[in-house]
Amino acid sequence: MSKQTLAVAIGLAFAATGATHAAPPDWDKVPAKTITVFYPGVSPLEWVTKGSDHGGARAFKKGETCAGCHDEEAADMGQRMVSGQKNEPTPPKGKAASIPVAIQAANDGENLYLRFQWKQPPASGGEKLDAENQVKLAFMLEDNKLDNAALSGCWSTCHQDSRTMPDAKDNEKTKYVVGASLDDGQFFDLLQWRSAGNPVDGHVAEARVMEGGSALVSAEGKQDGDTWTVVFTRKLAGGKGDVALQSGKTYPFGFAIHDDHAAGRFHHVSLGYMLGIDTDADISAAKQ
């Protein structure tokens, strides 16, 4: 077999197996948006929508987004809750109140690329609830089919009876969405990077499922000095449990960082934002 014939054969073999690697964009040419994730304490969806507890409940019910009210005060909210002043019966000593995160997004017509960068906060010295993973980063997408997803983002999946919450009676109950149905396309797409172990491609509907998705191409992260960088590559198309992303559309989007070996609710979360594919949004993934 000639070298030329061998090269063609190898190329056809790679194409047949799908063993090609998507090339990330030139991040120096992609604008970044800074979003502050904050410590949320015990602030489930039931609290968000209860007027006697949350002053913004009335505005929320009229269609005001959580980010529309609180985007600029996320760090202050985190400080009130991490200190135990509000919505936190067991304040975690030494935990950071908030983390500013720079997010960049792009697409190449086949794949979505999301890049997250942030400075590592000082270690709290508290219990390592997830001893294996120093850090985890997850984001969720929704296809504009669930009530209030565009208003509250990931808060639609956070409930007072979920495990690790003070009112939980079932230690196995994870995140869920009231009225969701995977079969009907009403769910949150969930992807997670872990500093140790394999990434996750799952979903949240009637329950959280940490597997089954087929859209994730790769999730890679590293720490350089005091800076973490995590990059997701995700196919725009997807199968069951994946939100199919289309050019010109926007999608409810939120993300969370489990820092300092955190697990369960002891994480930092974003408010709900919109991700746009080739269109203006809070975070826009333009074609490169």
Residues 205-250: tens digit of each pLDDT: 999 999 999 999 999 999 999 999 999 999 999 899 999 999 999 9
Reported in sequence order, the residue ranges of the chain that DSSP labels E, i.e. its strands, are: 33-38, 98-107, 111-119, 136-142, 188-194, 200-204, 208-209, 216-224, 227-235, 250-258, 268-269, 273-277, 283-287
- Is residue 245 exposed (0-12), middle (13-18) or buried (19+ Cβ within 10 Å)? buried
User: What are the pLDDT digits (tens) for 22-42?
Assistant: 788 999 999 999 999 999 999
Alpha-carbon distance 170 to 167, whole Å? 9
Q: Where are the alpha helices (DSSP H) in the chain?
A: 3-17, 45-48, 57-61, 66-70, 74-82, 149-152
What residue ranges define each of the domains in the chain, with the CATH number in brackets?
32-287 (2.60.40)
What is the rounded average pLDDT for all residues in the chain? Answer: 91
- Report the pLDDT value the prediction gives residue 167, as an integer from 0 to 100: 87
Q: How confident is the model at residue 12 (pLDDT cuts 50, 70, 90)?
A: very low
